Amino acid sequence: MEPTANTGQSSLQQLWLAAARGEPAGLPGTLLMFALSPLEWLYRAGLKVYLRMERVGLRRRRVLPARVVSVGNLTLGGTGKTGIVETLARKLNEETPVAVLLRGYGGTHSSDALTVSNREQVLEGWQKAGDEAALLARRLPGVAVVAGKDRRKTGALAISELGSKLLLLDDGLQYWQLKRDVDIILVDARLPFGNGRVLPAGLMREPLSALRRGHAIVLTHTNEVTHDTLSLLRDTIRCIAPGRPVFHAFYRAGAILAGESEEPAAALKGKDVVVLCGIGSPESFEATLREEGARVAEALRFGDHHPFRQDDLDLAEERRKETGAQWVLTTGKDFVRMADLRVPDSFRVLRAEMVVTEFEALLDLARGEQG
């Protein structure tokens, strides 16, 4: 097994993450979860009160004059939301003007609604808009991308100023202030629900019963688990949310990028590489590289949305030389955050593509043609 460096996380954070994921954490992990139990109870109680107020009409969701489709999840961490949003937006935009609405996490902007792409050109970089918004703006020419915490305001701007007819909410399941036509819930097949507990004693943002709010469930990273594991997960979801269609999705290597040049993913075969990434699911990225025949000599993992510094890139280059690896591999999302840094010639970017089984059926659901 290759060496892995989890940089930027304290020992307490690593302990909490292991316990929240349901991994062996020993007595310290057990005591930490016990100490967090009262806060978990308060979180559950507050969530229940909030949703009950909505059901009795004390809180109302804003209705916008466009079709609204949300892609979200029940857990913390990377489940593949950005990949699903990108895949849906690209196809749906062929038929109707689409806008992607994101919070713009990690960006410095403070405006209610920041236009990152107006369909014709990219207007903002990652420092202001956040890495995910900047990445989608680059990858989706012709699609509007708007960042801001208040999706009601970003949606209104996308409709009135950018002519959008369909709004795609990235990470919108817990944004209760805006009425949606479709909620697509993603579940990571490798670690569906962590230890099964809600924040802060687990990874769950909501209890499992929230799956019933979904119009469709998409199991992601399905190529990284066994058939039996997948079947058991599908059965569990059918028991909790009967009647919801369940789709499978996974990342596939598209191409290897180096500056303006591009090579097929097959060029990874037999290569020794050092991995440098700061994403929610680094294991999936590394698994994709291995599937293409690469040998991971070392993996440098930073926290999600990590703002890379020159020292980080220099460290990766040093480790490449020390291990004898040919390349340093990173993701497109990470590379966006290296825009102002000196990137060594050995760096390569893997452009990954999200593959969804029965994709046309999911598109029909988003369009409103079924379900």
pLDDT at 217: 98
pLDDT at 7: 63
The pair of three-digit structure tokens given for residue 94, joined into one six-digit string: 């062929």
Query: Could you give all domains of the chain from N- to C-terminal order, each with its CATH number?
Result: 10-55 (no CATH), 67-250+356-367 (3.40.50.300), 253-354 (3.40.50)
pLDDT mean across residues, the chain? 93
330, 306 Cβ separation under 8 angstroms: no
Instruction: Say yes or no to pLDDT of 185 above 90.
Output: yes
pLDDT at 3: 58
pTM for the model: 0.92
Instruction: Say yes or no to pLDDT of 343 above 90.
Output: yes
pLDDT at 64: 97
Q: How confident is the model at residue 5 (pLDDT cuts 50, 70, 90)?
A: low
pLDDT over 90, % of the chain: 86
Q: How confident is the model at residue 10 (pLDDT cuts 50, 70, 90)?
A: confident
Q: How confident is the model at residue 260 (pLDDT cuts 50, 70, 90)?
A: confident
pLDDT at 371: 44
147, 122 Cβ separation under 8 angstroms: no
Q: What is the pLDDT of residues 346-366, one digit of tens each?
A: 999 999 999 999 999 999 999
List strand residue ranges (DSSP E) for 105-181, in order.
114-118, 144-147, 166-170
pLDDT at 6: 62
pLDDT at 8: 61
The pair of three-digit structure tokens given for residue 67, joined into one six-digit string: 């079709």
Alpha-helix residue ranges (DSSP H) falling in 93-150: 126-129, 131-139
172, 127 Cβ separation under 8 angstroms: no
On the CB side of 260, CA atoms within 13 Å amount to 0
pLDDT at 120: 96
Instruction: Say yes or no to pLDDT of 139 above 70.
Output: yes
Q: What is the pLDDT of residues 18-48, one digit of tens each?
A: 999 999 999 999 999 999 999 999 999 999 9
Q: What is the pLDDT of residues 207-235, one digit of tens each?
A: 999 999 999 999 999 999 999 999 999 99
pLDDT at 58: 80
List 348's β-bridge partners, or say none.
Answer: 329
Q: How confident is the model at residue 78 (pLDDT cuts 50, 70, 90)?
A: confident
Q: Determine the average pLDDT of the residues in 161-181.
A: 96
Q: Determine the average pLDDT of the residues in 109-117.
A: 93
Q: Determine the average pLDDT of the residues in 325-334.
A: 96
pLDDT at 181: 97
**CA distances (Å), 263 to each of 63, 253, 257, 317, in order?**
46, 11, 6, 21
pLDDT at 54: 80
289, 265 Cβ separation under 8 angstroms: no
pLDDT at 1: 44
List 331's β-bridge partners, or say none.
Answer: 350
- Identity of the residue numbered 205: R
The pair of three-digit structure tokens given for residue 364, joined into one six-digit string: 């029909």
CA 102, 182, 88, 225 dihedral sign is positive
Cis, bond preceding 200 (omega within 30 deg of 0): yes
Q: Determine the average pLDDT of the residues in 165-184.
A: 96
**CA distances (Å), 201 to each of 108, 174, 185, 241, in order?**
30, 18, 22, 24
Q: Count CB neighbours of 245 within 10 A.
A: 15
Instruction: Say yes or no to pLDDT of 370 above 70.
Output: no
Q: Determine the average pLDDT of the residues in 266-283.
A: 94
| 231: Cβ contacts below 8 Å, ≥ 6 apart | none
Distance spanning both ends of the chain, measured CA to CA:
45
Q: How confident is the model at residue 280 (pLDDT cuts 50, 70, 90)?
A: confident
Q: Determine the average pLDDT of the residues in 275-279.
A: 95
89, 143 Cβ separation under 8 angstroms: yes
pLDDT at 111: 86
